[in-house]
Amino acid sequence: MATSTKHTTEWHSPRSGDSRRTLSPRPQIANLLAGLAGVGFGAVTALALETEGHSALYSPGGWALAVTRFSGFWGGYLLLLMVLLMVRLPWLERTVGQDQLVRWHRKVAPWATSLTSLHVLAAILGYAQMLHNSILSQAWIFVLHYPDMLAAYVGWILLLVAAFSSIRIARRKMRYETWWVVHLYTYLGLGLAFMHQIRTGIMFLGHPLSTQMWTWTWIGAGVVTLLWRVAVPVVRNLRFGLRVADISEVAPGVRSVTVSGRHLDRLAVNGGQFFQWRFMAKELWWHSHPYSLSALPRPPFLRVTVKGLGDQSSALKDLKVGTRVFVEGPYGAFTRHRMTRERVVLIGAGVGITPLRALLEDLPENRPVSVIIRARTAEDVVHGDEMKLLVEARKGSYHELIGSRDDVSLDAATLTSLAHGLADSDVFICGPEGFTESVVASLQEAGVPHSRIHFESFTF
């Protein structure tokens, strides 16, 4: 088809003009948000602390109730932070990177879950001691007689289910969709657990200002979540109206999907960033996948290059031209803004070459650049021709290392010989997990400091 050739060739040509909008990372905003997170943590700690006193501690159930307050506030606040880390706040996404945000989310998760559970148990124990009830009957009394406690229990259970579903072993056995729906329910759980804080929390009693601030913090978190996770993507996609324009095989089992849409000149994206892609076709629409752009946008076109891995990726071969596409993004901090040195080295393998391809295109033209690509066979090199052209335009060096993992070793000596001034370069790596690990090790051996080795890791 004529259009097919047209689209595939177009990506070779240099992009005309550069009025494209770009986005810089915002470290100050990230710092400010980190500070705000701290303020909130200090504030809730103070709220719990202020309620304590000698006589409160030494009255019946006093210690358990103190534990209840601290664990409740800390657990609840950490849950709030976990939600906010995943809100896809654009400034955070391109400053910190989604992989790092997810890592923090996972790091906080066990604390939030165990503190919340401790809160539930300590509350039952403390009230049972204070009111001289048995523990079981106290748990029941909470449900029956205390305002909003039933909802809070339900919220806690929803939270526990999500927590268990995210444990590595369970996560592996579970379909992505199941995990996703369970996670969606945690929003409901948090909503249900909110009212009991205000209604039974002693620190809010007769403190209208504290109550309002806490309430607005939660409402604010909800609004921000709805805004960035729902409203912004929906509005953008209605505006862009993306549809599949072309599908072509660029290497065995690897396909380039070109989509077209309106107003793409208004889309600000950096080379190396990714979107969550959702193809609105049967068996595909309920599943979104992160794919990096394999070239900078050429309005009205965007391109991703996908390998046949995973359920969606293999179903992509049946994808039809004209299918609607829904994207969320751009996300990721794997961009030229990570550079701190004059020289740049890009090292990639397999389909991991694609973000490097876009990143290369995004580099300032005067930068000396070395590209090192490893592939099993010469055929498997994705977008090798495009990379060559881009490197030539930048007077850099381009190396393809062909052979299996055992034949071709990317050790410190090889890397140093291939990349000029390696020790004084920024190195961007993209490839399978094992590949990235071994390259990082070689680079460190070659004297590249960790702060100049850039990669994204989505295995947690």
Partner 1 sequence: MKRTPFVVIGTAVGLAAVLGFRSTPVSVHLNFPTSSVGASGASGSTSSTSSTSSGSTGVSVGVGSSTTTTPSTVSGSTKASLGRSTPATLTAFRSATTSTSSVGGEHALATTTTVKKKTTTTTAKKKKPTTTTTAKKKPTTTTTVKKKPTTPTTAKKPAGKQVLTGPLVNYYYGVLSVKVTVANKKITSLAIGQLTDGGNPRSAVIDNAAIPILEKAVLGLSSSQQHSMAVSGNNPQLNVVAVSGATYTSAGFDVSLQNALYKLKTQGLI
Question: Which parts of this chain interact with partner 1 (CB under 8 A)?
Answer: 30-32, 34-47, 49-53, 55-56, 59-60, 65, 130-131, 145, 147, 199-200, 202, 205-211
Nearer to partner 1, 59 or 178 (CB): 59
Minimum CB–partner distance for residue 148 and partner 1 (Å): 9
CA dist list (Å): 351 to 7, 172, 255, 291, 382 = 20, 23, 10, 10, 7
Minimum CB–partner distance for residue 230 and partner 1 (Å): 28
Minimum CB–partner distance for residue 103 and partner 1 (Å): 11
Nearer to partner 1, 22 or 211 (CB): 211
Nearer to partner 1, 118 or 130 (CB): 130
Would you tell me how many other CB atoms lie within 10 Å of the CB of residue 263? 12
Whose tokens are 């989505």? That residue is: 458
Minimum CB–partner distance for residue 35 and partner 1 (Å): 4
Nearer to partner 1, 45 or 276 (CB): 45
Minimum CB–partner distance for residue 309 and partner 1 (Å): 32
Nearer to partner 1, 203 or 353 (CB): 203
Nearer to partner 1, 83 or 387 (CB): 83
Minimum CB–partner distance for residue 284 and partner 1 (Å): 38
Minimum CB–partner distance for residue 130 and partner 1 (Å): 5
CA 422 centroid distance within chain? 30
Nearer to partner 1, 50 or 365 (CB): 50
Nearer to partner 1, 117 or 211 (CB): 211
Minimum CB–partner distance for residue 444 and partner 1 (Å): 19
